[in-house]
Every structure is written in structure tokens, then in C-alpha cells.
Structure 1
Amino acid sequence: MKITRSFSPILFIAAALFTSTVSAYDPGETEVACKKPQFRDFNLPVYSESEKIEVAPESTFSFTLSPWTDPHSIKLTAKKQDIDFTVESNSSFHRVNAKLPTAFTGKFVRINSNANAVLGCSEKIGWLIKVADK
């Protein structure tokens, strides 16, 4: 009986330590499970002070998104205005095609896009361009 009493607290402590280690929650693991959308292949030249490249007014542009992106969640804006676009999807990517509105002629414009992954996480990106005068 003495052995049981002295041994019992040790088992209780070991069980408590093991249980707390096993049930530990890591909030970072939820981010690993969801792959954020990836934006690629933006086809207009991004403006930089050193190069000062301008794009033609009313230029069409496109970029691709990873296949795990929900194509219905894609949003495209510039200067707080929605930009109309189309999406072509296949098993490898989603291609977004759009045209710069006439109102942006001669202005600096940041084109912003955001999208959600099928599993819920999201990503956003933007490109600064300079639209030439007519």
C-alpha cells in the first residue's frame, strides 16, 4: 500500500504533463492549411521613377491566378473604381483580362486586385502604372 501511495502522485503528474502537451493548440497551423492565391504574369510595365515607362490609354491587361483561387471572389479596382474584367479558367490557372478605363488617361493609377482561395484565406496585390496622354 505504501508503494501505491508514493507512486500514484507521480503517475498523476506524468499524465497531466502528457495531456497538456498533446492538446496544445498552434494557431499558426490554420494558415499553413490554406494556400493563398498567387498572382503572376501581370503584362503591363510597372512604373518606376528611374525608367518612367508609360502605357497607352485604354490598354488591355491581364494576369494569372493560381488554380486554388475562387474565381468568383476576384475583385479589381483602380482609384476606388471597379474595373470590369473577364476570367478564363482551366485546371492550371485563372486568367483575368481587363481594359483601362478612359478616365485614367494621363494619370498615375494603382491597379488593385484581391481574391480568396477556395479554402477561405485571401491575398491582395497592386501594380502602379502611368497612363500616357493621348
Structure 2
Amino acid sequence: MELQSANSSKNAAAFEGSYNIIGLNQDEGQGRYFGFLHISKVSEIRVNAEWVINGEQVQQGSGFYHGDTLIINFSYEGEEENAGKTYKGVVVYKLINDSILTGFWSEKHGNDEFLGFEEGRKLKASETIWEQAKMN
């Protein structure tokens, strides 16, 4: 049996960038959410991630990739009645092509009967606020 090499045709740079995301929550109602995901390369196989969900909730994560799969452990602080509580989970993304990723996720204290789902489209540099700021 031959083990697949950790060096595949893609590297962490293939995932690097900012994404416009849409997702479904990990519950029976599967409420929709929208936001942005920014993935930055740490090494050839490691990445850091930051999500901004519905314009207000910030989540942080770190992970690694293998082939066309990216796995990120994430966490965020609760709000309002859950202030001070840290939520943790894992998301698994597949890179469909150079600009689309799709994935599923689960939180430690989420409903075990369901998974969350998320899709993202990589933004072109001209679509990012960073590029807009440089232009002004």
C-alpha cells in the first residue's frame, strides 16, 4: 500500500484570499447567514482564518490543508446572554476550483443531529476593501 504524498498539486496559497460566504446554521431551522472569510497562508500547509458573520460576529481559526481539502478549528465569543462563553468547532472545506470552496461545519455545543454548511466565492483584489482603500 502506498501512502499519498503530503505534497499535492495545490498548496496553502491556493486557498489564500478573501471570500464572500453564505451558510446554513447547525440547527433544525438551518437559518441562513452571510459574511466574509479571509484565509492567510502561514506555511506551505498551514493557514489562519477569520470570519465576519452578518457584519458583526468575528470568528478566528487555524488549520491545514491536504490535496483539495482544508480543515480549520475555529472559535468565537458568545454574545448577549452568552457573553464570556467561548464556542469552538471545526469546518472542512473542499476547493472546487480556483474561486469556489464549499464545506460543512460543526460546533462542540451545537445540535448533533445537524451540520452547518457554507459556500464561498473568492473575491478579486478589486472587490476587497483593501484594494479600494489603496485606490483612494
Query: What TM-score do you get using the length of structure 1 for normalisation?
Result: 0.31
Q: Based on CA coordinates, which of the two structures has the bigger radius of gyration?
A: 1
Say which structure is richer in strand. Answer: 2
Say which structure is richer in helix. Answer: 1
- Structure of greater relative contact order (alpha carbons < 8 Å, 6+ residues apart): 1
